[in-house]
Structure 1
Amino acid sequence: MTSYKVLDVNDDLPIRTKGKVHSGKVRSVYWLTDADSKRLINEKGYNVPADTELAIMVISDRISAFDCIWQGENGLNGVPGKGIALNSVAAHWFNMFNEAGLAGNHIVDIPHPYVWIVRKASTVKVEAIARQYITGSMWRDYAKGVRDFCGINLPEGLTANQKLDKVLITPSTKGIITGVADIPPVDDVNITRSNITNNLSVFNFRTADDVAQYEKLLVEGFELISGELAKLGQIFVDTKFEFGYVEDINGAEQLIYIDEVGTPDSSRIWDEASYKDGKIVENSKEGFRQLLINNVPESDVLLNKDRMDEREQLAKDYILPESVMLEVSNTYVGIASKIVGKEIVIPADPRQEVIAILDADYGLIIK
């Protein structure tokens, strides 16, 4: 039985907050009181306006796939080291984006490998997706005869996993968009560029120029990561970025990167040598997704959105072997260590470490 302690529950830490903790599939966000935000900006010298709202963002080791959380045997309800791997990779790329002069991001401090202090952003309601290879859902649709993807027409004769001539931008909705005739009111719907430019305020864009700016930042970020991964013998296949607006220290509004970038959760990463040999070796969550597809009793439950109730029940009942969770851990920690250039060390007890640091160094723990 493994000795790892995973951080699977991350929304019940004794952090002083205002309002409820917002818990997503992987991260939980604790909005700090106005007094604590002001105090930390002053004490730590954060380069943000004095009235900026700050939050503690705690990543978990939970693993989600097909919009469900999956669990392992022996109480291993997460992947050891997954949280630290994701945070380390995203912070690494954010730093490189800064150095390359692309755009800023929402992180103002990293107290612990599982924790970011982030600033509040006005979120753009677009999942910014970039692809350089035809694979996954895009290939499945193409094989069925679909040629129009988010207003982009693909040529005949493409083959599975083929590299495309250029990086394609294939956006989808972030959250439910209402009041737009040709966009159904459900989450994660593919949209076109003209859907966005014709409904700027619906997607929370200020101007049409900002749509061009997000596309520029998406492609530049994609190409930077792709070039760096190529040095490591890895292929950057596709990815999802998110964007939002913040005010800089002078009060001017900026479009920045938010959420995470270039991680094994938000991207497909392939081993280059294997690809050249005609095989796909995944160094990202896609490997876990394929494992589930190949092992659950009926894969259509995972792939068919109309069977979501069955899928959620399956995820509750389906307990993965510990060996699988540790294999996934090796994938995440392995690729993250390569990217950041040093071995990722899995903490013995991440929860207690986080509480201790937020208490001693930040004064945010309720006694």
Structure 2
Amino acid sequence: MNTITDTNFNFPGQTNLYKGKVREVYTINHSKLVMIATDRLSAFDVVMPKGIPYKGQILNQIATKMMEATADLVPNWLEATPDPNVAVGHLCTPFKVEMVIRGYLAGHAAREYHLGKRQLCGVAMPDGLKENDKFPEPIITPATKAEMGDHDEDISREDIIKKGLVSEADYVVLEDYTRKLYKRGSEIAASRGLILVDTKYEFGKTQDGKIVLIDEIHTPDSSRYFYAEGYQERQDANVAQKQLSKEFVRQWLIKHKFQGLPGQTVPHMSNEYIQSVSNRYIELYEKITGEPFVKANVADIQNRIKHNVESYLNN
């Protein structure tokens, strides 16, 4: 089960290295980013102790396809993908918030709703909904971006502007881009027999001040999908939705009494369970993209990435 869970490259012109929860970002000549999607798995803002085979490749390739499919709507940071696990693009200064948009009452929103809350991030949620019902209109519920090991936190539009995390003028653009991307993502999902339930987008500013989409988009780590076929029947029968997302990992962890809370220990993940998660990610890839997944050569992932990135940078 060859996986890539950590890197420590020294690329030509390298000026910085940032390690996030699942991605490692190398800055080149203060102008370009090399983003490596590792096989690390994060849930409840905690990185699991074992990597998931092919997960990084899957996330990187879905994100690449989705950025290409939305570039006519929203500019993005991407320049090239010289390796199955690697994206290269423009250096940006990230906004310190994630733009979460929800079309349905699911996941975190449903958990808050069940506690009796009818506002999330300052946005009203109507009474009378049950879990996985569709909202009358999609709602934007931002979160502050956490450092590794910390939890993302809900925040309202008003607090984002008041605290100076994003200027009001920029926030208007982020909201507009978020709604456009979600609409296009929902259309792509529908063409695959899926419902894009909720997702998050991250944005940054290029060195010349342009707001662009960064990081991943419409992947199973950043998004929740339901199968469209049978959705309404399942809602009417009050049974769980058939879904494509990382939620299956979260539910497994909850079942094993882990939600990333203080004092909790990550449960043991057997090799069989790890393989089942990998298989599920491959299923996600094929359903989301409508294409068969082609496994990259993982005999020596580190050297493969090093060679492909250096060849690209040198050329």
TM-score, length basis structure 2:
0.90
Larger radius of gyration: 1
| 1:191 correspondence with 2:148 | no
In structure 1, the residue corresponding to 2:221 is in which secondary structure?
coil
Shift of 1:17: 5.1
Q: Distance in 1 between matches of 2:21 and 2:159?
A: 28
| 1:237 correspondence with 2:197 | yes
Of 135, 145, 150 in structure 2, the residue corresponding to residue 164 of structure 1 is 135
When residues 359 and 258 of structure 1 are mapped into structure 2, their CA distance, relative to the original with a 3 A threshold, is closer
AA partner of residue 219 (structure 1): R
Of 25, 28, 48 in structure 1, the residue corresponding to residue 24 of structure 2 is 28
- Other-structure match for 2:268: 319
Post-superposition CA distance 1:22-81 (Å, at most 9, x none): 1111111111235xxxxxxxxxxxxxxxxxx1121111111111122223xxxxx31111
AA partner of residue 87 (structure 1): N
Task: Give every structure 1 segment of 4 or more consecutive aligned residues whose post-TM-superposition deviation is greater than 6 Å.
Answer: none
In structure 1, the residue corresponding to 2:102 is in which secondary structure?
strand
Query: Does the 8 A contact of 1:5 with 1:348 survive in 2?
Result: no
Of 35, 49, 56 in structure 2, the residue corresponding to residue 83 of structure 1 is 56
Q: Distance in 1 between matches of 2:224 and 2:211?
A: 25
When residues 274 and 70 of structure 1 are mapped into structure 2, their CA distance, relative to the original with a 3 A threshold, is farther
| 1:216 correspondence with 2:160 | no
TM-score, length basis structure 1:
0.78
Q: Distance in 1 between matches of 2:73 and 2:172?
A: 14
- Other-structure match for 2:307: 356
In the TM superposition, 1:45-60 aligns within 5 A as 53-60=31-38
- Other-structure match for 2:237: none
In structure 2, the residue corresponding to 1:242 is in which secondary structure?
strand
When residues 209 and 270 of structure 1 are mapped into structure 2, their CA distance, relative to the original with a 3 A threshold, is same
When residues 80 and 274 of structure 1 are mapped into structure 2, their CA distance, relative to the original with a 3 A threshold, is farther
| 1:336 correspondence with 2:281 | no
The size of the alignment, in residue pairs, is 306
Shift of 1:360: 3.6
Q: Distance in 2 between matches of 1:167 and 1:18?
A: 41
Shift of 1:240: 0.9
RMSD of aligned Cα (Å): 2.1
In the TM superposition, 1:143-182 aligns within 5 A as 143-175=114-146
When residues 360 and 150 of structure 1 are mapped into structure 2, their CA distance, relative to the original with a 3 A threshold, is closer
Q: Distance in 2 between matches of 1:114 and 1:15?
A: 16
AA partner of residue 194 (structure 1): E
Q: Distance in 2 between matches of 1:353 and 1:154?
A: 48
Q: Distance in 2 between matches of 1:240 and 1:287?
A: 18
Query: Does the 8 A contact of 1:29 with 1:57 survive in 2?
Result: yes
| 1:291 correspondence with 2:287 | no
In structure 2, the residue corresponding to 1:362 is in which secondary structure?
helix
In structure 2, the residue corresponding to 1:194 is in which secondary structure?
helix
AA partner of residue 12 (structure 1): N
AA partner of residue 13 (structure 1): F
- Structure 2, gaps ≥5 residues long: 235-239
Q: Distance in 2 between matches of 1:303 and 1:59?
A: 22
Of 93, 102, 125 in structure 1, the residue corresponding to residue 66 of structure 2 is 93
Post-superposition CA distance 1:240-278 (Å, at most 9, x none): 11111114xxx4x21110111111001111222253341
Q: Which moved more, 1:89-98 or 1:186-195?
A: 186-195
When residues 190 and 359 of structure 1 are mapped into structure 2, their CA distance, relative to the original with a 3 A threshold, is closer
Of 238, 256, 263 in structure 1, the residue corresponding to residue 219 of structure 2 is 263
Q: Distance in 2 between matches of 1:153 and 1:67?
A: 26
When residues 149 and 283 of structure 1 are mapped into structure 2, their CA distance, relative to the original with a 3 A threshold, is same
Post-superposition CA distance 1:67-105 (Å, at most 9, x none): 22223xxxxx3111111111111111111111xx32211
Shift of 1:20: 4.7
Query: Does the 8 A contact of 1:88 with 1:340 survive in 2?
Result: no
Shift of 1:189: 2.3
Q: Distance in 2 between matches of 1:107 and 1:57?
A: 10
Shift of 1:14: 4.2
